[in-house]
């Protein structure tokens, strides 16, 4: 058996940290992790529960300008669990964020943040 036990964090590149904060905090409702170290670039860390985090890094994106697939499930993505999918849909709708349903038949949806990073939201019990 592998010693790998969990995903500790995922890191996403953003071009405008203030704009990203609005999306991740106001739209998604994520809570800031208060102990981000003093790194040599701007960023923000968010708590996802269970010791898991999402790290935003305001750094140049080597993939800038690349055309992304229309459906986020066919692109690189980070999947997170959500307890209330309908509440999430209402938040995304209110913010004008478009999303697509999973094509696998699971209760899941995909959206992109302002920098075209793909997020998958999977319903958890």
What CATH number is associated with residue 18? Answer: 3.10.180.10
Looking at residue 5, its pLDDT comes to: 85
Rounded Cα–Cα distance for residues 125 and 113 (Å): 25
Looking at residue 125, its pLDDT comes to: 75
Looking at residue 76, its pLDDT comes to: 94
Rounded Cα–Cα distance for residues 30 and 17 (Å): 15
**pLDDT means over runs of 10, the chain (125 residues):** 90 98 98 97 96 97 90 94 96 97 93 96 91
Domain count, the chain: 1
DSSP string for residues in 63-115: TTTPPPPSSGGGS-EEEEEES-HHHHHHHHHHHT--EEE-TTSSSEEEEE-TT
User: 108: number of CA atoms within 13 Å, CB side?
Assistant: 20
Rounded Cα–Cα distance for residues 25 and 55 (Å): 13
Domain assignment present for residue 3? The answer is no
Domain assignment present for residue 2? The answer is no
Residue span of the structural domain in which 46 resides: 9-61+69-123
Domain assignment present for residue 42? The answer is yes
Domain assignment present for residue 4? The answer is no
Give tens-digit pLDDT for 50-69. 999 999 999 999 998 899 99
Provide the whole-model pTM. 0.93
Domain assignment present for residue 1? The answer is no
């Amino acid at each position: 058996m592998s010693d790998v036990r969990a995903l500790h964090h995922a890191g996403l590149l953003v071009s405008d940290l203030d704009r990203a904060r609005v999306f991740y905090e106001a739209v998604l409702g994520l809570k800031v992790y208060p102990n981000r170290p003093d790194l040599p670039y701007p960023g923000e860390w968010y708590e996802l529960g269970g010791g898991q985090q999402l790290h935003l890094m305001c750094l140049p994106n080597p993939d800038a300008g690349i055309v992304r697939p229309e459906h986020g499930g066919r692109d690189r993505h980070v999947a997170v669990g959500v307890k209330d999918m309908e509440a999430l849909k209402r938040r995304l709708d209110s913010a004008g964020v478009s999303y697509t349903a999973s094509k696998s038949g699971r209760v899941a949806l995909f959206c992109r943040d302002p920098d075209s990073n793909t997020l998958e939201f999977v319903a958890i019990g």
